[in-house]
Amino acid sequence: MTTFLILPTEILDRIIVFLDSPNPFEATVFQKPKAPGSDWGYSSPGAEHFTLANSSYRDLPLKTLSTTTRFLRTLTLPQLFKHSTLSPSELDGFLAFVASHGLASKISSLTAHVYTHYNHLHPAWWARLLNALPSATQIAIVAPPEILDALAGIHTWSTDAWAFDMPLQILRFGLSSDSAQQELDYDDLPNFLAARPWSQLTVNEGSSLMAYTTYEFFLRRTPSLLTALHFNNSISGDALFANLLSFDFVAIFPFYNHVDEILKCIRKMKRLQRLFVKLCPDPDTTILRDEIESAGGHMDVNDPWNECETSWMLIAHTIVYLTMEGDLQELEMADVQIEAVRKTLEDSLTARLQEWWAYNGAGSGLWRRRDPYAVMTFGAPEVGGVA
């Protein structure tokens, strides 16, 4: 260790960057939302916040290195807390820790787990975070649907939450580094949607499987911020949609009529360049079996798949609309990971989009918009062709 410590600081910094790990939230943001497990913990006795979720010292060499000497801890802190996680109840301690260690300009992403309303706090907890972390270009909120609705300043649209059993959903917002520098006025706060000129949005609504066990499930209204924004004619919601360049939508077996409502929001995203959609669980997950067992087997297993197949066709129609009316350049359908439905999904979307879009290859799930000049001059290639 002594020999290691005599290395120039620049080399030590390079070693630390090499030991750094990706944002742990990326591994879970497209899966069914859940509360942090028992393996989350405080990084240090004085730090009133969580960091580096679902990880152990054995799995994180950078975290292990930070516990060896005070000097190495000082060097590792900026990387160690680059992706931070907290609850609003820990806000004061978190901000004090950030200030005392000079980390305000080092934190690039933040995940907030919000399980209750914090309307009694002034300024709003999220406003203090945005002002205190000018380098944070990605903010994720994991919360119950009604909490997300409150952050957007609207009333919950659905009264059927009991049927869906969706305890948590995820919103993740992104923006450019320049836009993140804007300071909020605590005496004239907008709602969270209008707090920044967000250009990226991820919405993970969780699983609808439990609702399939209810009578006439197709009449149930999914708890959804996007649906609420659309039907409430939200001004801040429409402004958010109009500014988005990238949008990810994740929902496990949603009803096709709900997907249709989501697509009404997507049609408002005229500047959108990239769209990612995932409607099926990962191939290696047991969520379908687990939720059928939890429901006591009271579910027709064909219903969720039929809803998905109809949803894919609705998505294709919206892609055609955005081809004519918007700037969409890339579509990624994660459901091609499911081998049993891959060919159906690929063939149906390619057939509908072939005049304007090129599929990137079997199993890729990626469609890219063709050069309009090439389409006019040479015409569209055969179905299944690659640009």
Paired residues of 366 in beta bridges: 332
Confidence check: pLDDT of 189 > 90 = yes
Residue corresponding to tokens 């160690």: 80
- What is the per-residue pLDDT across 117-132, written as a single tens digit (0 to 9) for each? 998 888 999 999 999 9
Measure the CA–CA gap between 58 and 93, rounded to whole angstroms.
Answer: 27
Residue corresponding to tokens 């359908």: 333
pTM for the model stands at 0.88
Confidence check: pLDDT of 161 > 90 = no
- What is the predicted pLDDT for the residue at 376? 53
- What is the predicted pLDDT for the residue at 252? 96
- Could you tell me the two tokens for 334? 């994660």
Confidence check: pLDDT of 379 > 80 = no
CA distances from 229 to 118, 148, 241, 331, 332 (A): 21, 11, 10, 23, 24
- For 34-43, 129-138, 158-167, 330-339, which range has the lowest pLDDT when averaged over its residues? 34-43
HEC readout, the chain = CHHHHCCCHHHHHHHHHHHCCCCHHHHCCCCCCCCCCCCCCECCCCCCCEECCCCCCCCCHHHHHHCCCHHHHHHHHHHHCCEEEECHHHHHHHHHHHHHCCCCCCCCEEEEECCCCCCCCCCCHHHHHHHHCCCCCEEEEEECHHHHHHHCCCCCCCCCHHHHCCCCEEEEEECCCCHHHCCCCHHHCCCHHHCCCCCEEEEEEEECHHHHHCCCHHHCCCCCHHHHHHHCCCHHHHHHHHHCCEEEEEEECCCHHHHHHHHHHHCCCCCCCEEEEECCCCCCCCHHHHHHHHCCCCCCCHHHHHHHHHHHHHHHHHHHHHHHHCCCCEEEEHHHHCHHHHHHHHHHHHHHHCCCEEECCCCCCEEEECCHHHHHHHCCCCCCCCC
- What is the predicted pLDDT for the residue at 51? 55
Average pLDDT score over residue span 231-240: 94
Confidence check: pLDDT of 345 > 80 = yes
Q: With pLDDT > 70 as the criterion, what percentage of the chain qualifies?
A: 88
Cβ neighbors of 148 (< 8 A, separation 6 or more) are 141, 169, 171, 225
Average pLDDT score over residue span 331-339: 96
b or e along 253-262 (b: 16 or more beta carbons within 10 Å of the residue's beta carbon)?
A: bbbbbbbbbb
b or e along 166-177 (b: 16 or more beta carbons within 10 Å of the residue's beta carbon)?
A: bebbbbbbbbee
Average pLDDT score over residue span 331-356: 94
CA angle, 30 then 34 then 35, to 5°: 135
Question: Cα-flanking dihedrals φ and ψ of residue 11, to 5°?
Answer: -70, -40
- What is the predicted pLDDT for the residue at 384? 39
- What is the predicted pLDDT for the residue at 157? 66
- What is the per-residue pLDDT across 164-183, written as a single tens digit (0 to 9) for each? 989 999 999 999 988 888 89
Q: Please report the sign of the dihedral spanned by the C-alpha atoms of residue 133, residue 135, residue 141, residue 147.
A: positive
pLDDT: which is higher, 254 or 182: 254
Measure the CA–CA gap between 166 and 144, rounded to whole angstroms.
Answer: 7
- What is the per-residue pLDDT across 5-63, written as a single tens digit (0 to 9) for each? 777 777 777 776 777 777 778 888 999 998 775 333 333 334 434 454 444 444 577 77
pLDDT: which is higher, 270 or 5: 270
CA distances from 321 to 75, 171, 203, 313 (A): 51, 25, 21, 13
Q: Residue 72 CA to chain centroid, in angstroms?
A: 33
Amino acid sitting at position 191:
N
Q: Please report the sign of the dihedral spanned by the C-alpha atoms of residue 133, residue 16, residue 55, residue 335.
A: positive
Paired residues of 138 in beta bridges: 109, 174
pLDDT: which is higher, 261 or 74: 261
Amino acid sitting at position 232:
N
Q: How high does pLDDT run on average in the chain?
A: 85
- What is the per-residue pLDDT across 55-109, written as a single tens digit (0 to 9) for each? 444 457 777 777 777 777 777 777 788 899 999 999 999 999 999 989 999 999 9
- What is the predicted pLDDT for the residue at 54? 43
Task: Indicate the burial class of 1 (C-beta count within 10 angstroms; 0-12, 13-18, 19 or more).
Answer: exposed
Average pLDDT score over residue span 208-223: 91
Confidence check: pLDDT of 290 > 50 = yes
Minimal CA–CA distance to 334: which of 251, 270, 255, 261? 251
